[in-house]
Amino acid sequence: MNTRYRKILDSIFRAPTTPTLPFAEIEALVLHLGGQVLERQGSRVKMLLGEQCWRCYRPHPGKDARRYQIEEAREFLLRAGVRP
């Protein structure tokens, strides 16, 4: 894993949860790890990694993921077997 994705992963697993992580970075990490990002209706997104699935909404009007989304992403990655 290169430095860019390592930093994103560290940001997701950081405590306390960071409030300034762009949602596109989470999507890029999932794609880098071999997952899929599927566009749904409106701002809905479905992410698949291994056998795990995470359904969420893209933040709008801003680009930064909200804290609860980062915490859900952390749980999703842990369920998929991704550790920092």
pLDDT in tens, 24-51: 999 999 999 999 999 999 999 999 999 9
61 domain-assigned: yes
Question: What is the C-alpha radius of gyration for the chain, rounded to an integer number of angstroms?
Answer: 12
> H or E element: which one contains 46?
strand 44-49
12 domain-assigned: yes
Q: Using pLDDT thresholds of 50, 70 and 90, give the confidence band for residue 84.
A: confident
Count of the separate structural domains present in the chain: 1
Between 76 and 84, where is the model more confident? Answer: 76
pLDDT over 90 (residue 13):
yes
84 domain-assigned: no
Domain with 31 in it? 3-79
Q: Using pLDDT thresholds of 50, 70 and 90, give the confidence band for residue 1.
A: confident
Contacts 24+ apart (CB under 8 A), 26-34: 26/65, 26/69, 26/70, 26/73, 29/5, 32/1, 32/5, 33/5, 33/80, 33/82
Check which CATH number belongs to the domain holding 22 and give it: 3.30.920
36 domain-assigned: yes
